[in-house]
């Protein structure tokens, strides 16, 4: 195994990254671009995008502008993640998809390239969401991962990884992988803590990054339950923090990097202020006891004729 793919500059991903998935995808161009620029100004250095979010172009423009303005001195100061969408989850489409992403960015390399979901779609499905369930196809784990490894070998991405993979699906991938995935990006917040999956990933040296750390309310995949959680509100009040900060601090204390999205400067600033204070053991214990409920069920990936017949098939655990 070539383990160089799982080493990051300074051996770390910034603890709080900026998510650029705004729902509905592709509808908030200028606001998104302005927000990214503000985020760079405030100190965010990790940016998460995906072909399907239609935010690669905005991110690219914001990064160019930030360089022009001297907010960052070089591309190397930023950690940029993008993702291969399901309609490109075919061995022959991986490299062209990454090249297309890089071209949109005007970048020579990504820091991290992820397979967005453990599923494939007919190429004609393109990047439209919602998509038709009749487009769903099983993913060829071995050959698609080989194509991802090729992207790494060509230097087009410093690291390769996956998103939304269960332990079972990771095991299947690892059976034939020469380069293990550096990252598994999954939903993670106090209401969906992913304890078992995190333990598995730790054992395998796969870093977990957290999407929807605040529950991503108002999106197709989100829930307002996280921000409405009474336990989190109580802890926040007792600490003079906000429930969002409690969520992000909790994720940080688990050793996981979070990808948080906000278009509001004050909240963006607030979301970075998670260092220099801690949750008490009592706080952590209370969070540990929160009843678990998944926000992103992924029903749109489930169909009788497709590779996953139920949400349990998709996530390989009771939902
Ligand atoms: P907004 O963009 O208006 O700030 P997630 O990061 O889990 O995907 O959640 C994103 C959602 O949470 C967005 O609706 C965002 O709204 C909201 N949000 C982001 N930061 C905060 C915060 N500090 N407090 C409350 N809501 C927040």
Are 26 and 56 within 8 A, CB to CB?
Answer: no
Closest atom of ligand 1 to CA, residue 21? 8
HEC states along 201-255?
A: HHHHCCEEEEECCCCCCCCCCCCCCCCCCHHHHHHHHHHCCCHHHHHHHHHHHCC
In the predicted model, is pLDDT for residue 2 greater than 60?
no
Single pTM value for the model: 0.96
SS3 content of the chain, % helix, strand, coil (to 5): 45, 15, 40
For ligand 1, atom 6: residue with the closest CA: 260
For ligand 1, atom 21: residue with the closest CA: 267
CA angle 186, 215, 303 (to 5 degrees): 60
Backbone angles phi, psi at 115, to 5 degrees: -75, 120
CA of 83 to the centre of ligand 1 (A): 22
Q: What's the whole-number mean pLDDT along residues 205-221?
A: 96
| Cα maximum dimension of the chain | 54
The pLDDT value given to residue 238? 98
CA of 260 to the centre of ligand 1 (A): 7
Pocket test for ligand 1, best of 16, 211, 214, 272 (most atoms within 8 A of CB): 214
CA of 263 to the centre of ligand 1 (A): 8
The pLDDT value given to residue 6? 39
252 is catalytic: no
CA of 269 to the centre of ligand 1 (A): 12
Closest atom of ligand 1 to CA, residue 189? 7
Binned at pLDDT 50, 70 and 90, residue 191 comes out as: very high
For ligand 1, atom 12: residue with the closest CA: 216
In the predicted model, is pLDDT for residue 37 greater than 60?
yes
The set of protein residues with a Cβ atom below 6 angstroms from ligand 1 is 19, 212-218, 227, 242, 244, 260-264, 267, 270-271
Catalytic residue among 53, 211, 252, 308: 53
Closest CA to 257 of 52, 107, 47: 47
> Residue with structure tokens 């940029």?
80
Closest atom of ligand 1 to CA, residue 267? 23
In the predicted model, is pLDDT for residue 10 greater than 90?
no
In the predicted model, is pLDDT for residue 165 greater than 60?
yes
Tell me the pLDDT tens digit for each residue of 89-99: 999 999 999 99
Q: Is 11 exposed, middle or buried (0-12, 13-18, 19+ CB in 10 A)?
A: exposed
Are 51 and 61 within 8 A, CB to CB?
Answer: no
Closest atom of ligand 1 to CA, residue 226? 7
For ligand 1, atom 1: residue with the closest CA: 262
Least confident of 103-107, 156-160, 260-264, 291-295: 103-107
In the predicted model, is pLDDT for residue 195 greater than 90?
yes
In the predicted model, is pLDDT for residue 274 greater than 80?
yes
CA of 163 to the centre of ligand 1 (A): 21
Q: What's the whole-number mean pLDDT along residues 241-263?
A: 97
For ligand 1, atom 15: residue with the closest CA: 262
Please report which residue ranges of the chain form alpha helices under DSSP H. Answer: 29-42, 56-69, 91-105, 141-153, 167-176, 195-204, 230-239, 243-253, 265-272, 281-288, 311-315
For ligand 1, atom 4: residue with the closest CA: 262
The pLDDT value given to residue 3? 35
In the predicted model, is pLDDT for residue 9 greater than 90?
no
Q: What is the mean pLDDT of the chain?
A: 94
In the predicted model, is pLDDT for residue 11 greater than 90?
no
Angle 91-105/141-153 helices, nearest 10 degrees? 40
The alpha carbon torsion through 269, 275, 278, 283 (nearest 10 deg) reads 40
Tell me the pLDDT tens digit for each residue of 117-131: 999 999 999 999 999
CA of 216 to the centre of ligand 1 (A): 7
The better pLDDT of the pair 202, 28 is held by: 202
Closest atom of ligand 1 to CA, residue 271? 23
């Amino acid at each position: 195994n070539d383990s160089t793919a799982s080493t990051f500059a300074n051996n770390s991903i910034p603890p709080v990254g900026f998510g650029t998935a705004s729902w509905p995808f592709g509808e908030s161009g200028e606001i998104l671009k302005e927000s990214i620029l503000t985020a760079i100004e405030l100190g965010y250095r990790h940016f998460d995008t995906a072909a399907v979010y239609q935010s690669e172009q905005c991110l690219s423009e914001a990064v160019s502008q930030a360089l022009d303005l001297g907010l960052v001195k070089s591309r190397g100061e930023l950690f940029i993640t993008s993702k291969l969408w399901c309609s490109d989850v075919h061995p022959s489409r991986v490299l062209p998809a990454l090249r297309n992403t890089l071209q949109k960015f005007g970048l020579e390399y990504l820091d991290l390239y992820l397979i967005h979901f453990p599923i494939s779609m007919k190429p004609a499905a393109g990047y439209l969401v919602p998509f038709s369930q009749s487009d769903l196809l099983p993913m060829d784990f071995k050959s698609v991962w080989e194509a991802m490894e090729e992207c790494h070998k060509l230097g087009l991405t410093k690291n390769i990884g996956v998103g939304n993979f269960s332990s079972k699906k990771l095991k299947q991938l690892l059976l034939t992988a020469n380069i293990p995935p550096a990252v598994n990006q999954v939903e993670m917040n106090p209401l969906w803590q992913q304890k078992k999956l995190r333990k598995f990933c730790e054992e395998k040296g796969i870093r977990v990054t957290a999407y929807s750390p605040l529950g991503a309310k108002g999106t197709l995949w989100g829930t307002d339950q996280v921000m409405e959680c009474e336990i989190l509100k109580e802890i926040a009040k007792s600490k003079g923090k906000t429930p969002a900060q409690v969520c992000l601090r909790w994720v940080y204390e688990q050793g996981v990097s979070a990808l948080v999205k906000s278009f509001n400067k004050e909240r963006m600033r607030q979301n970075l202020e998670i260092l220099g204070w801690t949750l008490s053991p009592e706080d952590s214990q209370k969070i540990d006891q929160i009843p678990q409920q998944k926000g992103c069920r992924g029903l749109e990936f489930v169909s009788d004729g497709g590779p996953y017949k139920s949400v349990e098939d998709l996530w390989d655990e009771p939902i």
